[in-house]
């Protein structure tokens, strides 16, 4: 029996594997990666590597074993049909007789186009009749704190979210919830709505940046169309720019406020405040 993590060298996957190593012996962990070289450090610590690609179904043949607990981290290739990619993993896990498949989904309240692939994957997972856990992850602090350069350059936070609020948390927080499910008992056929303990607005985000930097950082609220144009102008493909701007429209409607407390309960601790994430990001920037 192994705990298998797909996308193990991605932003979230690395946090999951690192936290698993604190809980279980390394030989019980299998990291699924596309590029073995990127996981050399994990292999050196005793983690088993499996090379597979969502886009090449046969690479998952025989990868799982009966009794495995699998974490399917959603793919990030929006243009390659993510539900089809995820189906490859679901089919392989079912064929092997996996004990559990946990999937990193999106909040049930989210109606933006970004959620469509997640809902399709959830439907496929339920249809498979595999024991499942839906980890409906809310927004990540890092979606903002890793994009501080243009904010600081222009002295403005630009978003199409109006006065909407976001229950974001750190990737490490969401990883802790996944690890609790993968190493614990009684999570079969459960759905967890995951978000940070405190929701914040973009005006508050700008104010915290101002406080931390000693500079005046404004919040410029724009339309979804304007934001799509800004993101496309920054180099994002227009379809992806529209998807991300659509999330802001959902934020304005309150769809990324997740008040359940599921995340801190699973993690066994309060979630990371946005102010802490901001301070760490600014320190990293020097």
pLDDT > 90? residue 8:
yes
Q: State the Cα–Cα distance between residues 72 and 88, nearest whole angstrom.
A: 11
pLDDT digits (tens, 9 = 90+) for 219-258: 999 999 999 999 999 898 888 899 999 999 999 999 999 9
pLDDT digits (tens, 9 = 90+) for 59-108: 999 999 999 999 999 987 766 689 999 999 999 999 999 999 999 999 99
Average pLDDT, the chain: 95
pTM of the model: 0.96
CA quadruple 13, 16, 22, 24: dihedral sign: negative
pLDDT of residue 284: 84
pLDDT of residue 81: 83
pLDDT digits (tens, 9 = 90+) for 153-192: 999 999 999 999 999 999 999 999 999 999 999 999 999 9
DSSP lists the bridge partners of residue 134 as 103, 191
pLDDT of residue 127: 98
pLDDT of residue 286: 63
pLDDT of residue 80: 67
Q: State the Cα–Cα distance between residues 57 and 10, nearest whole angstrom.
A: 20
Q: Retrieve residue 265's tokens.
A: 């309960």
**Angle at alpha carbon of residue 173, lines to 170 and 174, rounded to 5°:** 95
Which residue in this structure is represented by tokens 């802001």? Answer: 248
- Three-state secondary structure of the chain: CCEEECCCCCHHHHHHHHHHHCCCCHHHEEEEECCHHHHHHHHHCCCEEEECECCEHHHHCCCCCCCCEEEECCCCCHHHCHHHHHHHHHHHHHHHCCCEEEEEECCCCCCCCHHHHHHHHHHHHHHHCCCEEEEEECCECHHHHCCHHHHHHHCEEEECCCCCEECCECHHHHHHHHHHHHHCCCCCCEEEEECCCCCEEHHHHHHHHHHHHCCCCEEEECCHHHHHHHHHHCCCCHHHHHHHHHHHHHHHCCCCCCCCCHHHHHHCCCCCCHHHHHHHHHHHHC
Q: What are φ and ψ of residue 77, in 5° steps?
A: -95, 85
Q: State the Cα–Cα distance between residues 29 and 137, nearest whole angstrom.
A: 22
CA quadruple 264, 270, 272, 273: dihedral sign: positive
Torsion of the alpha carbons at 50, 80, 20 and 38, rounded to the nearest 10: 60
pLDDT of residue 27: 96
């Amino acid at each position: 029996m192994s705990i298998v993590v797909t996308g193990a060298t991605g932003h979230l996957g690395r946090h999951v594997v690192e936290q698993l190593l604190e809980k279980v012996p390394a030989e019980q962990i299998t990291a699924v990666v596309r590029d073995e070289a990127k996981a050399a450090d994990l292999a050196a610590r005793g983690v088993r590597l499996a090379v597979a690609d969502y886009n090449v179904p046969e690479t998952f043949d025989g990868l799982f074993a009966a009794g495995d607990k699998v974490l399917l981290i959603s793919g990030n290739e929006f243009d390659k049909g993510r539900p089809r990619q995820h189906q490859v993993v679901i089919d392989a896990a079912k064929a092997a007789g996996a004990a559990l498949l946990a999937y990193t989904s999106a909040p049930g309240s989210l109606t933006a186009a970004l959620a469509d692939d997640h809902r399709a994957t959830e439907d496929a997972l339920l249809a498979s009749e595999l024991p499942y856990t839906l980890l409906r992850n809310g927004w990540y602090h890092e979606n903002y704190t890793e994009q501080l350069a243009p904010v600081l350059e222009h002295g403005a936070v630009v978003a199409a979210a109006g006065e909407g609020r976001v229950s974001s948390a750190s990737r490490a927080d969401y990883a802790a919830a996944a690890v609790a499910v993968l190493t614990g008992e009684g999570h079969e056929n459960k759905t967890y709505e995951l978000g940070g303990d405190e929701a914040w607005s973009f005006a508050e985000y700008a104010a915290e940046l101002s406080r931390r930097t000693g500079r005046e950082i404004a919040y410029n609220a724009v339309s979804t169309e304007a934001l799509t144009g800004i993101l496309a102008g920054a180099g994002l493909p227009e379809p992806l720019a529209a998807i991300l701007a659509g999330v802001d429209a959902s934020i304005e409607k309150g769809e990324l406020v997740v008040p359940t407390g599921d995340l801190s309960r699973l993690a066994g601790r309060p979630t990371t405040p946005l102010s802490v994430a901001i301070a760490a990001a600014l320190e990293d920037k020097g």
